[in-house]
Structure 1
């Protein structure tokens, strides 16, 4: 329909009237179209109910393609459904693979994925996919842009050139292994009961045969890290046949062999350990091949469960730990073969069972974890020895050194060994045979409470510069570069001034470490290249920045969210990361230096339809005036004019979780879910608790009560309707707090500890260790045994102070909990029963430290909600909480 202008042209008055009419029409018709959805969205947001929880899924972030154009992620739901997605970060194109796991990119346009029935190869360009049996061995060569596929049942090797689609075939292949250079593979072939092994050039498919048409089976292939040689075992199929350890050098095209019978020259009871306890390893000079040895005549000793257990107080380790980890005579030993002269040297033994190498594999470092046992810290110190790999002779390197795996790390070149001892970092110069304290003159500590419940520990050694002139160290906030002789140090970041924590960006705890037999070694961190750092700010913000080769710090992103899983695609200057807040489910975001952020994927996008809660970082002061932090979670539709009930949830330090999103669910192992509780008109307070040695109970009460009073002072909490909850160590804290104050109207304690003296004398059966280790400098930090200071244990034990309890408490535990003996909960219940205190206990059969069965998780969650509703909201719709007070 054609519209007609109702005002003729020419008159200014008419034009003015026309304009006013247009504005009126715009306001009347257009604005409602824009505003109504926004107004309606507020009105129509739904209250979250139990039936809605199943809509939420967990986002699990995977890896991007090399060019960053694709990224993988999974969504896992309570229903059990688990779907893998791969999404284009530019145009949003998405493929989904239900049940897909272990995704790995083959170049930029192919993805290989496992599911429960097969392995799938997906072309992201065409959408075509190919399915293979689960036992298929698939690798991708970046060097030749090929997918190498071994169909084990057919014994067929397929070499597919992705650029052309051309496939070459090699038949009768039993196994293969790709070189680190990705230019060749070693293949073993079985045809007509004859075995061959050779090097296949991936560029032209030509095979250089190492051994042809023989009787030996070839297996356990292991490449030198630069692809210059490959080691493997060879043995015939016949019973009683001997085995050869083989080394093939690609440059000389020679194969060298060590026959198992030759081991008798130095150890008549030893054979090759072909289980890969110690994987075959080749030194870069190609003159050392490291391998495992097993004994042929291990004396059979009775293990736990076979009969009577004999526990001796003189044993180095308690019986269960000895059975699970201490039978060193059964452990494979590491040995080294020198192919140039045929010499074999045994390195580790039952006397010194723990072994690693220095960085360039010229020396071994051995130790005995039991050396200073019995002792009562969680990890015992030990002496570390250096072993000459030519003679087997050992010499002491450092005595009574921490046994933590990150407290002694060889440098990449092998020249230095860094170790943390006596609250300082030291360097041992292997060449000069000297020890240098490199941090003693720096006026900041390089140690602190790294793990919440642990004792003081080193903040960490993330690596060395390429020339090893500097070692990198962390203090509480900053990254330092310190010269290897300790004469010069420089702070690479400036975080201490505003309490900002800088750390090298990683995707996992072990990204900055290289596996080194029974230990680790440091990596190289190139400060001449752009280095991505993660930042954590004192106000709860997180972010990322770059340390430029000039030394300048450039911010990439910083905001009041929890940012993690940062992938940096250097070639395209692309950043892909995960972002979340308590009121924003995790999402994947992509950005580069010249563009705005782009949301690649928003998990649980339906959350916008529901009322959701918010979180806030708070600060408070304890009795000594020290400023501490905490999280305050607000109920949905929070009204400052109302008085709310509040639950105080405790477990050491939690403030770093202020922006973590929590899916609403009743299927929580501890029965508590912040997103569920806050939708029921509760505030939740999670205060940080700081302990000092010898005053664990006193510090707990001080911090929790101080934080609670701080929030009461904000005038939106009903001071008579405050609950307290914790589990495990937090359960102990809950039990103790209610013996000292009646500020809390109700409490819930899960998998908790009640009597410190009896708990001191128990075994943590799940780890096979003595629970005494928790009391010296860990967790309870009492510093003494109950035999040295029984009153100390009595003062800090809930059970000996139980006469003062006025707070009704719900106690729960799993009856198969051997991490914290479930009888601790029973003891506390029995004390409260004898004293006539209001308490109810829930014991769940066949459950451990946290509940794993869905029916029990739901039962516990509902009961905790009902318990607090009864005492904090006067909700008597459920009868069972009344029974504790009637």
Structure 2
């Protein structure tokens, strides 16, 4: 009997292997059809779930389902889905066909000639669908039930400024019946009643806004150039009474429209200065329903505004929950450019000054942000006083979600510390309490390098001190700071930090709902600290540390923005996520914070669980589940032990030769325990030799159970493609020591590859390496230290740490000095303190040792690593007559953004490794390159004799 079972099992294995061998590998033409899920949302009750499914290239679809996985509605080309608060209507944009948009782009049509969106309204009760459009955009109230507003271009009526009501069904923009365009069209805002299908047409409307409670629609009208009919202004439409009122008169810019929580008071910012005015002069207007018009509440002449300051039109307006305070922004009146100057007669020059707070490059990158920068102020409706809260010396204000409380916090960085951000990783800050009643400030912490977090009731401020690695709390009423984590024999700072900078915290797990304490994370467990410093409990009883399982609170944002999502209910079980550092498994636990020893495992499995959402009462959950073989489809669950699968969006995967992922462990030459992930083809045969590519960055094994979608690479290695096409791929973890990042790459990557090469199924003559950015640096270093690799591909590498040290990260304008002294490069010293260390870790100085053919990708719009680093590497190897190629995707970034470039590099990577590791003929770009005169005519992807 046992012999029969073994034979049967063997026959099954042979059949499975035969079936796998018959499956084709993933080709470049398969990518576009691979789909992904987005915008998944549970309704407040949890009765419905909706989401979008999008191919990498093509038309998306939106689906609405119930808990039992019944498909209620499917909208082809659906996008931005929304369910009304009463869960009766489902709305979705309907995008034009991908082919139509592509064709319009090819024909270089103007924006107003491009295919337009439409809007689909599905009645869940009657199952009826209405198509509205074409539209320019649509909005609903946050607590929507009955209305949607959208803008359209319609034929201009004979009487322009009338409100027209009709029950006609608007045309479906997706139908392409040919008709002659009208001579003139006009923008109209249409208010649509979802239940009655009635529409209200509001002509010449520009900006528009619903209050949260769906009582009012506010909209502005531009008016004609010569507004003889006095149309321009701001209007309020009463949705219940169906009446319209003009509340502010005149042409201008109306923005930052906001209501208080009860929709009883309306504020907005408006600039009515002449159109050609060089300085905008925004004023804050206030309207309530006891007055006919909105009145100026605050302008630049109001008491409390500093001299030469004004109201910022770029700042948000927000009410406190009780409606008694209005938060706004003030700003210095900007200098005005002299328009009488003739531009071509004057120099354009940047003056770099050694005492500037920030480098000129940072200033230039942030010009727009600085011009729009505002400084927090508050207006008290009861006292009718305006109080500036911060000025240019302070950072932004941090308040509670309700903003009812008196106290807020802010920070200040000294000029000395601002300058030091050129080479430091973070800056010490002074922390201040700010009174929202009188604007007074109180210094409560000096030179804090770390975190300052205001409690939900604005009664405490939590501090994490990175220099000490400890938590403490400042009691606002008693004005005392109390240590919380001191004396405990575990670290609350990142234990795995291997950079030459101070470690940050593991974060706050949540606040106690009684306001008497806080929960914080260490590496594995959750602790409770009472604010009086007397109680210090490990609420997970050290289970995480004992079992090397990382436990984290799973918090869900409330749909009500006033309700803090991180206040923990001690009366109900709290959901925790888990990650097992030993097995790499993920899962869920629950715990009742009011009971001892209540931690219970729900599930741990060889999966990753992501994109977890909940309904309002946290009674049902949606999430994705994945591993290397299992696509992250969408599931519903109530208990995390049973899962109801909602989607199966990539069934085509089973038709391709896929692969497996396994954890590999070895010991490095210096005796370090090491780990990595080995990916094998599905049709793997142990008696066959395979080429192998090592792909690395820092650590990857935490993603052992991640899915790798076959999608054109932004410049990394597409693991699923290469595995499917008969390669082994190895992703080793790398651990670092300060001063020797290059040696760390040698220690872990080379030893891991040599360890695998002991297996008969690894072809040690056909090994390669690939890395991007930091991984690209490590590739460049390794090929100067060993000849064990038959090919190498490096993306955006730093090869000269001496020149890169003085370079700029162009996307942010920041100096790169901090990168080498304190951050990822991990040198831990300035160039002048240890120049030999910089040279030792700079591959450029050792390019004469290279024997490995290497392809470099470095783009001329790289915002992280200056692309001259790639040029330095290329020109050095070219002079040394080493086989080298440089790919510069014009105008693209550090990681490729443009899809056509991603597709291109994916093909070239495959051709490069196929040639050097599989012996396939070289493509033309490898053999002879592409001359500049042939750019855009030939791409060199062909293989010719």
Shorter chain as denominator, the TM-score bin is: 0.7 to 0.9
* Structure 1 residue 269 corresponds to structure 2 residue 270: no
| Alpha-carbon contact 1:535-1:543 (below 8 Å) kept | yes
Secondary structure of 1:820 counterpart: coil
User: How has the CA–CA distance of structure 1 residues 850 and 595 changed in structure 2, closer, same or farther, with 3 Å as cutoff?
Assistant: closer
Q: Distance in 1 between matches of 2:26 and 2:138?
A: 47
Residue matched to 2:611 = 565
* Structure 1 residue 222 corresponds to structure 2 residue 268: no
* Structure 1 residue 118 corresponds to structure 2 residue 165: no
* Structure 1 residue 495 corresponds to structure 2 residue 544: yes
Residue matched to 2:574 = 531
| Alpha-carbon contact 1:150-1:156 (below 8 Å) kept | yes
Residue matched to 1:541 = 585
Q: Distance in 2 between matches of 1:808 and 1:40?
A: 36
Residue of structure 2 aligned with 1:260, choices 284, 299, 324:
299
* Structure 1 residue 638 corresponds to structure 2 residue 699: no
Q: How does 1:768-787 map to 2 (within 5 A)?
A: 768-787=813-832
Residue matched to 2:388 = 346
Residue of structure 1 aligned with 2:364, choices 279, 300, 323:
323
User: How has the CA–CA distance of structure 1 residues 882 and 598 changed in structure 2, closer, same or farther, with 3 Å as cutoff?
Assistant: same
Q: Distance in 1 between matches of 2:391 and 2:197?
A: 52
Q: Distance in 2 between matches of 1:120 and 1:369?
A: 51
* Structure 1 residue 417 corresponds to structure 2 residue 422: no
User: How has the CA–CA distance of structure 1 residues 738 and 220 changed in structure 2, closer, same or farther, with 3 Å as cutoff?
Assistant: closer
Deviation at 1:499, TM superposition (A): 1.6
Q: How does 1:768-807 map to 2 (within 5 A)?
A: 768-807=813-852
Q: How does 1:223-302 map to 2 (within 5 A)?
A: 223-225=259-261, 230-233=266-269, 245=284, 258-260=297-299, 262-263=301-302, 266-275=305-314, 277=315, 279-284=316-321, 286-298=323-335, 300=337
Q: Distance in 2 between matches of 1:157 and 1:865?
A: 54
Residue matched to 2:175 = none
Q: How does 1:177-192 map to 2 (within 5 A)?
A: 182=213, 184-185=215-216
| Alpha-carbon contact 2:248-2:293 (below 8 Å) kept | no
* Structure 1 residue 90 corresponds to structure 2 residue 65: no
Secondary structure of 1:701 counterpart: helix
Deviations 1:241-272 (A, max 9, x none): 99764557899999996342641665343332
* Structure 1 residue 46 corresponds to structure 2 residue 92: no
User: How has the CA–CA distance of structure 1 residues 859 and 135 changed in structure 2, closer, same or farther, with 3 Å as cutoff?
Assistant: closer
Residue matched to 2:105 = none
Deviations 1:173-208 (A, max 9, x none): 99875555x3744757999859897795x8xx3599
Deviates more, 1:433-442 or 1:53-62: 53-62
Deviations 1:775-812 (A, max 9, x none): 12210121111111101111111122333333332222
Q: How does 1:424-443 map to 2 (within 5 A)?
A: 424-443=470-489
Q: Distance in 2 between matches of 1:420 and 1:867?
A: 49
* Structure 1 residue 580 corresponds to structure 2 residue 619: no
* Structure 1 residue 711 corresponds to structure 2 residue 753: no
Q: Distance in 1 between matches of 2:708 and 2:297?
A: 58
Deviates more, 1:378-387 or 1:565-574: 565-574
Residue matched to 2:351 = 310
Residue matched to 1:460 = 507
Secondary structure of 1:850 counterpart: coil
Q: How does 1:96-111 map to 2 (within 5 A)?
A: 96-106=74-84, 107-111=86-90
Deviates more, 1:812-821 or 1:123-132: 123-132
Deviates more, 1:793-802 or 1:452-461: 452-461
User: How has the CA–CA distance of structure 1 residues 702 and 512 changed in structure 2, closer, same or farther, with 3 Å as cutoff?
Assistant: farther
User: How has the CA–CA distance of structure 1 residues 589 and 306 changed in structure 2, closer, same or farther, with 3 Å as cutoff?
Assistant: farther
Q: CA RMSD in A?
A: 4.1
Secondary structure of 1:448 counterpart: coil
| Alpha-carbon contact 1:671-1:858 (below 8 Å) kept | no
Residue matched to 2:55 = 77
Deviates more, 1:643-652 or 1:483-492: 483-492
Q: Distance in 2 between matches of 1:577 and 1:306?
A: 58
Residue of structure 2 aligned with 1:625, choices 665, 671, 684:
671
Q: Distance in 1 between matches of 2:923 and 2:306?
A: 73
* Structure 1 residue 470 corresponds to structure 2 residue 513: no
Deviation at 1:368, TM superposition (A): 4.1
Residue matched to 2:409 = 365
Residue of structure 1 aligned with 2:447, choices 378, 395, 400:
400
Deviations 1:636-668 (A, max 9, x none): 311122222211111111112222222334x21
Secondary structure of 1:690 counterpart: coil
Structure 2 runs not aligned, ≥5 long = 1-11, 96-116, 153-186, 222-228, 930-945
Residue matched to 1:660 = 706
Residue matched to 1:129 = 130
Secondary structure of 2:654 counterpart: helix
Q: How does 1:800-819 map to 2 (within 5 A)?
A: 800-819=845-864
Q: Distance in 1 between matches of 2:902 and 2:871?
A: 20
Q: Distance in 1 between matches of 2:820 and 2:28?
A: 41
Deviation at 1:450, TM superposition (A): 8.0
User: How has the CA–CA distance of structure 1 residues 799 and 47 changed in structure 2, closer, same or farther, with 3 Å as cutoff?
Assistant: closer
Q: Distance in 2 between matches of 1:235 and 1:827?
A: 52
User: How has the CA–CA distance of structure 1 residues 296 and 724 changed in structure 2, closer, same or farther, with 3 Å as cutoff?
Assistant: closer
Q: Distance in 2 between matches of 1:844 and 1:158?
A: 47
Residue matched to 2:785 = 740
| Alpha-carbon contact 2:588-2:604 (below 8 Å) kept | yes
Q: What TM-score, normalized to structure 1? A: 0.83
Q: Distance in 2 between matches of 1:118 and 1:452?
A: 52
Residue matched to 2:768 = 723
Residue matched to 1:23 = none
Q: What TM-score, normalized to structure 2? A: 0.78
Q: Distance in 1 between matches of 2:918 and 2:77?
A: 43
Deviation at 1:689, TM superposition (A): 0.8
Deviation at 1:379, TM superposition (A): 3.2
Deviations 1:664-721 (A, max 9, x none): 34x2121621111112221110011111222211222111123223323344312222
Deviations 1:1-35 (A, max 9, x none): xxxxxxxxxxxxxxxxxxxxxxxxxxxxxxxxx99
Deviates more, 1:320-329 or 1:446-455: 446-455
Residue matched to 1:13 = none
| Alpha-carbon contact 2:148-2:193 (below 8 Å) kept | yes
Q: Distance in 2 between matches of 1:89 and 1:73?
A: 13
User: How has the CA–CA distance of structure 1 residues 309 and 127 changed in structure 2, closer, same or farther, with 3 Å as cutoff?
Assistant: same
Secondary structure of 2:567 counterpart: coil
User: How has the CA–CA distance of structure 1 residues 289 and 879 changed in structure 2, closer, same or farther, with 3 Å as cutoff?
Assistant: closer
Q: Distance in 2 between matches of 1:186 and 1:51?
A: 48
| Alpha-carbon contact 1:566-1:578 (below 8 Å) kept | yes
Residue of structure 1 aligned with 2:718, choices 665, 669, 673:
673
Q: Distance in 1 between matches of 2:900 and 2:234?
A: 57
User: How has the CA–CA distance of structure 1 residues 89 and 400 changed in structure 2, closer, same or farther, with 3 Å as cutoff?
Assistant: same
Deviation at 1:726, TM superposition (A): 0.7
Q: How does 1:843-854 map to 2 (within 5 A)?
A: 843-854=888-899
Residue matched to 1:24 = none
User: How has the CA–CA distance of structure 1 residues 730 and 59 changed in structure 2, closer, same or farther, with 3 Å as cutoff?
Assistant: same
Residue of structure 2 aligned with 1:647, choices 680, 686, 693:
693
Q: Distance in 1 between matches of 2:73 and 2:529?
A: 48
Deviates more, 1:654-663 or 1:621-630: 621-630
Secondary structure of 1:337 counterpart: strand
Secondary structure of 2:491 counterpart: coil
| Alpha-carbon contact 1:57-1:663 (below 8 Å) kept | no
Deviates more, 1:98-107 or 1:716-725: 98-107
